[in-house]
Structure 1
């Protein structure tokens, strides 16, 4: 038996970054696999885009961030500001989601038009085991998660108030540009 989920991905921080990133994510979970397909349009061009699902380890229902989460009033919702409504970064949509290694350079890169497609089939048991190791439960609870797409051009001048440095990756990499609620299809 399979379960299908979708997320309509809408722009975030578009007023500042000058593009309205949007798209769609589809997930199909079977006994053995999780198939993930994400297509994005109008993202910052020629840029690597981190993408993940976020949520609360305790199973609370995550919601997408809006400009209401801009607590420091700098005109941007940065990664830490999303946490109150969206929870923490959980599973990356990179070349190996089941390893749950978030900071890396193996995420999709948009083309000159700001378009990219991401498609992967993940071994579900491996992902669930790693998820349980990190978050204490092997239930991904996709319908309680939100997806974020991150990343702006390195030459975009961001205010000093923008937070979200992860290891060697600065706020240009982690700034959310789009988000969507994952729902059962």
Structure 2
């Protein structure tokens, strides 16, 4: 028997970015397969968009970050500011989610209209095994997770206070542009 989860993805930091990125995600667990489908609209155009689910390893229910989390009051909620309510970055939606290799260049790139569609089948046993080695549990608990879509043009001037450097990737890559709570589908 399969289990279906969905998330309505809404804009964050849109006042500063100038686009209202939005879309929908669908997750279907069926046997040893996790089918992931994400479609986004109005993202910054011609830009690679990191996308992940975030959460708490202890199973605490993650929540969507809002401007309340802008603790340095620079007008943007950056990646570190999301952690208090959304937890840590867990699983990437790249070309190999089950490898959980977060910083890489294998994420979707939006077209000139800011649209992209991502769809992949993931071997659930491999993802659960890797998830357990990193977080101590093999239960993905999708209904306790938050999706974040990240990424703005390198041309966008960000305040010096925006944090989120991951390896050689700067805050332009990690700045959240959209978010959504994953829920069990009706």
- Give TM class, smaller chain: over 0.9
Moved >6 Å (runs of 4+): none
TM-score by length of 2: 0.99
Q: How big is the shift at 1:30?
A: 1.5
Q: Which deviations, in whole Å up to 9, do the C-alpha atoms of 1:85-143 show, x marking residues without a partner? A: 00000000000000000000000000000000000000000000000000000000000
Q: Determine the C-alpha separation between the residues in 1 that align with 2:57 and 2:33.
A: 22
1:28 and 2:28 aligned: yes
Structure 2: where are the runs of 5+ without partners? none
1:99 match: 99
Structure 1: where are the runs of 5+ without partners? none
Q: Determine the C-alpha separation between the residues in 2 that align with 1:170 and 1:4.
A: 34
What does residue range 39-118 of structure 1 map to in structure 2 within 5 Å? 39-118=39-118
What does residue range 162-173 of structure 1 map to in structure 2 within 5 Å? 162-173=162-173
Q: Determine the C-alpha separation between the residues in 2 that align with 1:2 and 1:81.
A: 35
SS at match of 1:139: coil
2:160 match: 160
CA RMSD between the two structures? 0.3
2:138 match: 138
TM-score by length of 1: 1.00
SS at match of 1:52: strand
User: How many residues are treated as equivalent by the alignment?
Assistant: 185
Q: Determine the C-alpha separation between the residues in 2 that align with 1:13 and 1:66.
A: 9
1:16 match: 16
Q: Determine the C-alpha separation between the residues in 2 that align with 1:166 and 1:49.
A: 14
SS at match of 1:143: helix
Q: Determine the C-alpha separation between the residues in 2 that align with 1:30 and 1:138.
A: 16
